[in-house]
Homo-oligomer: A and B are copies of this chain.
Amino acid sequence: MIVILKSGTTAEQTEQFSDILRKRYCVDIHTSVGAQSTVLGLVGDTKAIDVDSLNAFPIVEAVRRVQEPYKKANRKFHPDDTVIDVGGHKLGGGELQLIAGPCSVESEEQIISIAESVKKSGANILRGGAFKPRTSPYAFQGLRQGGLELLTEAKAKLEMPIVTEIMSADHIEFFNDVDIIQVGARNMQNFELLKELGKTDKPILLKRGLANTIEETLMSAEYIMSNGNENVILCERGIRTYETFTRNTLDVSAVPIFKKLSHLPVVVDPSHASGIPWLIEPLSLAAVAAGADGLIIEVHNDPPHALCDGAQSITPEQFNSLANKLFLISDAIKEVNNSKN
């Protein structure tokens, strides 16, 4: 970490400030006095140093981190890709994983029928909402525990691991049979929830928040990992911008950036990113081309009658056609990367 002092800072002020830093953060200070300004290099474990508390000193011109503030999620300290095994299916190992299912679990018949069809199309993991975060308190809130039971039934019947969203640390006990616990975009910085999930050993699918940066997303992964659970899957699901044509704007750049900065697997959710069924195919193809390890896609047998988010779901037939294309493009991308790099 480098601290640039304002021009005009005296040697005495510099020394006093350095003393404070040494005591407070147990770091060594290397001072370089230049013509324009004095620069301090802080050497040691700086990840707990709050940039803002340094900026509060009147003599500080600027603070610049040289090292990323995340460690466990950082590829620098863990060069190999993390591969997460979910019921025999690998996320992050170079094989494209499709996660599919309805926005909300609505009935036994619905979840089983969708699960059957998406499995046939090549999806290895079943998604389905039981606890549903809804903007309105008057909207359908999901079947909650009842939904988890139906998901578990579908899991048993189809031998598909399941992923579903958690909305409160109080519900962790209900998620025993869930294979991947999803943290939704609205809870990405619900730090108390992240800490509790860090004490479990379940893979966590962490969705990027509505308007969170790539670094903040990695810091939220770090919350889970530093509490003991290193099985985190990052998920890009679109960010909030001024554009109103789509519900969110898919930040496809996040895929290669997450892969470069971190060793964690990355999946993309084109359904929430766009909110428009006919965009799901091109966005899914783009995500795979950009290097995504998997996709999580909303599929509903009867979108107009879906109890939630029907407008962004595709049908099982559309998913089948899409899955075929995605596996072909995934293979082409693998080939291209192997031959050329």
Q: Which residues of A contact B (CB under 8 A)?
A: 2, 4, 7, 20, 28, 30, 32-37, 39, 41, 43, 47-48, 50, 52-58, 61-62, 64, 66, 69-70, 131, 133-140, 167-170, 186-187, 189-193, 195, 209-216, 219, 222-223, 226-227, 239-246, 249-253, 255-257, 260, 273-275, 278-279, 282-283, 285-291, 303-313, 321, 324-325, 328-329, 332-333, 335-337, 340-341
Chain B proximity of A235: nearest CB distance (Å): 16
Q: Provide the bound-state CA to CA distance between A241 and B208, in Å.
A: 15
Decide: A30 near B41, CB < 8 A? Known: A242-B211, A329-B332: no
- A249 in complex: contacting residue of B35, B138, B253, B340, CB < 8 Å: B253
| Cα–Cα, bound, A70→B309 (Å) | 19
Separation of A62 and B64 alpha carbons in the complex (Å) = 9
Q: Is the CB of B137 within 8 A of A306?
A: no
Contact among B32, B138, B278 with A260 in the assembled complex (CB-CB below 8 Å):
B278
Q: List 12 A-B contacts (CB under 8 A).
A: A2-B34, A56-B311, A170-B192, A211-B211, A211-B240, A239-B243, A244-B244, A255-B282, A256-B279, A260-B278, A324-B340, A332-B332
Asked whether A35 and B39 contact (CB < 8 A) given A329-B289, A340-B324, the answer is no
Using A47-B138, A56-B303, A135-B219 as known contacts, say yes or no to A282 and B290 having CB atoms under 8 A apart.
yes
CA of A167 to CA of B289 in the docked complex: distance in angstroms?
35
Contact partner of A30 (CB less than 8 A), chosen from B35, B226, B313, B336, is B35
The CA-CA distance from A43 to B209 in the complex, in Å, is: 36
Does B210 lie within 8 Å of A211, measured CB to CB? yes
A285 touches B333 (CB 8 A): yes
Among B41, B50, B255, which residue has its beta carbon within 8 angstroms of that of A36? Answer: B41
Closest 4 CB pairs of A and B: A32-B32, A211-B211, A56-B310, A332-B332
The quantity of this chain's copies bound in the complex is 4
Residue numbers in B under 8 Å from A2 (CB-CB): 4, 34, 36-37, 39
Q: Which residues of chain B have C-beta atoms less than 8 A from A50's C-beta?
A: 136, 139-140, 308
Contacting residue for A242 out of B47, B195, B242, B313, CB 8 A: B242
Contacts of A138 in B (CB 8 A): 47-48, 69, 226
User: What is the chain B residue whose CB lies nearest that of A195?
Assistant: B137
Interchain CB contact (< 8 A) of A245 among B64, B215, B227, B336: B215
Q: Whole-angstrom distance from the CB of A154 to the nearest CB of chain B?
A: 22
Whether B64 and A244, one on each chain, are in contact in the complex, defined by CB atoms closer than 8 angstroms, is no
User: Given A57-B304, A328-B336, A134–B191 Cβ distance below 8 Å?
Assistant: yes
Q: Within the complex, what minimum Cβ distance (angstroms) separates A299 from chain B? A: 13
Residues of chain B contacted by A253 (CB below 8 angstroms): 245-246, 249-250, 273-274, 279, 282-283
A32 x B35 contact (CB < 8 A): no
Query: Roughly how many angstroms separate A306 CA and B251 CA in the complex, as a whole number?
Result: 29
